[in-house]
Structure 1
Amino acid sequence: MSVKVLYIAGWGRSGTTIVDNILNSYDSVFSTGELYYLWRRGLVQGRKCGCDLPVDRCRLWREILDHAYGDDRPDPRRISDLQRQVARVRSTPALIGDPLSAGAEEYRKVLTRLYHSIAEVTGAALIVDSSKVPSGAALLPRMRGVEPYLLHMVRDPRAVTHSWMRRTVQPDRAKPAVMRRHQPAESTMHWLVWNAFAERLAKSYPHRYQRLRYEDFAAAPRHVIEGLLDFAGVDAGGGPFLDDATVRLAPNHTVSGNPSRFRTGDVTLRADERWRQEQALGPRLAATAMALPLLHRYGYSMVPRSA
């Protein structure tokens, strides 16, 4: 039986974490969080799982890793180094159609075993991987026994820039730190590149690619989430919605992601539009000018309305 995997791609601060957390709260779904960072952040750096234990002490992830590799568990430092060699964002084109290098083939095999193990240990009908990194999405269709789906999430680049410039505490370390901030030019360049690669990947996912704007999700969250489950052929029973805009987030075992992954309980969903009032003119103009090649393509106005 094939393993269904929904991979969420797109630049950070585009709403991927809340979508991920909601999907995880369905009975038939298990979210890994940003699985790409399992090796470096979770196993090398000892960061926390969504259950608030270090990943290497989480009973579920220990069971998954034992099931996947037994006594032949890969050295996480070795896999982290391998990712830097063969699976960085810029590696995406080489992973789409070309014969894989020896390193990329090794990495593909490690991940294939991991996805299969996650499905078997959790019993989930759908695995959600919110890694966002396009290279991970490029490899997924090349994995034996995996049925891949791609969700490409986008958000207004000015909102994304504003979010990256805010101070955000990172609570998954032993000593909480502040997440790295991105200035407007850097954030928008990443926004352009990651979204362009995600679009290019659509051909590798015939009839299994869907693009979702954060703004459209926030306007009708229940409708959008249930549509995603239907898209992946998964039953929406046992869902977390209390009404069309209120959700009860279940605890999770995400290995990495935005700090909001630790949020559980009842949440009323609404669009985060603070950027419209708070953003200074300079960052807004910089993000707008740089994003022009894709701004209108995704339905964003050059002159955004005020909140």
Structure 2
Amino acid sequence: MLSDPTPTTRVLYLAGWGRSGSTLAESLLDQVPGLVGVGEVKFLWERGLQQNRRCSCGTSLRSCPFWVDVLTEAYGGIPGDDEVERLDAASRRFRTRHLPGLLLRSPERTDPDGLGWYYDRLRRLYAAVAAVSGARTVVDSSKFPSYLTALLQTPGLDLRVAHIVRDPRAVAYSWQRHKHDPDAPGGAQMPRMHPGFTALYWSAWNLATERIARRAGLPYLRFRYEDLVADPAGTLGAIVDLGGEPGAVLPFGADGPLVGRTHQVSGNPMRLRSAAVPLRLDDEWTTHMPPRHRYLTGAVTVPLRHRYGYRR
């Protein structure tokens, strides 16, 4: 089990609003030597340990050899039910509805919420992931700007932010689709959201992510999903450089980017697949999205959308 003090752990945080391509980006980053992608760590306690959903390797998380080794390295074994509940309750204090208060909080205050024990558990967890995987950089695709503030309070992390954005109209269309989630309890559908709310969340999350990263002085890179698809080598190379592995071998084969078995917690169901990944721009929204939804989303997001290069 890890003991104090632990070395600094480099964490590349994938931020951005949901349905923007973070699972694809992380799956590719996981194949780069020196990096390991572990999915949405924020949901490790609820979806991974309480609900025992599948790791992306296909095994239930409590039975996954990788995660068993990580939890044993960090805590001496899988935490008991009471401890998991306590960790999940602490994680829920970094939800979207708490974001205004987190943004207004003075960065000079140390442990303002009395969550020092929780930040210590996070420190141990990320250090254990690095130790078990042998990777120099841990990729976390939790995305929440509110959870990013928790990581800023966590000692022993060398934190960098890779911020993925996607055309908000494409994102709003994706949130309207009926999608089966094979990993959800009872085989439920993935959550759906009205385009108006999606547009508001898209704007708020992206602005908050920029503000938090810049106020904290974190190494930061914003990249577009569309550029990842159009120029995967160039875009992925820039992200890998940010992650501290310049010149690393990128995961490209004759048939396109290669994705092997990963150990991601939660995320898009595509994380459960491994093979060559056909990178095609998903622009179905341009022909199938109802005009009223397109105009509403475009109007709500127009200032930030233009700044990110989505003008048409």
TM-score with structure 1 length normalisation?
0.91
Per-residue CA shift, 1:58-97, capped at 9, x if unaligned? 111111111111269362222112222x311234315671
Equivalent residue runs for 1:45-84 within 5 Å: 45-70=51-76, 73=79, 75-84=83-92
Alignment of 1:1-307 (within 5 A): 1-70=7-76, 73=79, 75-84=83-92, 86-89=93-96, 90-91=98-99, 92-93=102-103, 97-99=107-109, 100-173=111-184, 175-206=186-217, 208-242=219-253, 246-301=256-311, 304=312
Q: Distance in 1 between matches of 2:24 and 2:146?
A: 22
**Distance change in 2, residues 1:96/1:138 (3 Å):** farther
2:260 maps to amino acid: A
Please say if residues 48 and 55 of structure 1, whose CA atoms lie closer than 8 Å, have aligned partners that are also in contact.
Answer: yes
In structure 2, do the counterparts of structure 1 residues 269 and 205 end up closer, same or farther at CA, with 3 Å as the change threshold?
Answer: farther
1:206 to partner: Cα distance:
2.9
- After TM superposition, the structure 1 stretch with the greater mean CA deviation from structure 2, 247-256 or 228-237, is 228-237
| C-alpha deviation, 1:208, in angstroms | 0.6
Change (3 A) 1:110 1:96: farther
Give 1:163 shift.
Answer: 0.5
Is the contact made by 1:82 and 1:103 (CA closer than 8 Å) also made in structure 2?
Answer: no
Partner AA of 2:266 in structure 1: S
Using the alignment, how far apart are the partners of 1:262 and 1:72 within structure 2?
Answer: 23
Q: Which moved more, 1:10-19 or 1:93-102?
A: 93-102
Percent identity between the two aligned chains:
36
How many residues are treated as equivalent by the alignment?
A: 300
- Contact 1:215–1:271 (8 Å) recurs in 2: yes
In 2, Cα distance between equivalents of 1:210 and 1:258 = 22
SS in 2 for 1:170: coil
Provide the rounded CA distance (Å) in 2 between the counterparts of 1:106 and 1:183. 38
Q: Deviations over 1:99-145 (max 9, x none)?
A: 23344333222211111111111110111000001122223233322
Q: What is the Cα-based RMSD across aligned positions, in Å?
A: 1.9
For residues 177 and 106 of structure 2, what CA distance do their matches in structure 1 show?
35
Q: Could you tell me whether the CA contact under 8 Å between 2:119 and 2:155 is conserved in 1?
A: no
**Unpaired stretches in structure 2, ≥5 consecutive residues:** 1-6
Unmatched segments (≥5 aa) in structure 1: none
Q: CA deviation at 1:205?
A: 4.9
Q: Give the counterpart letter for 1:269 in structure 2.
A: L
8 A contact 2:195–2:297 mirrored in 1: yes
TM-score normalized with structure 2 length: 0.90
Answer with 86-95 or 113-122: which moved more.
86-95
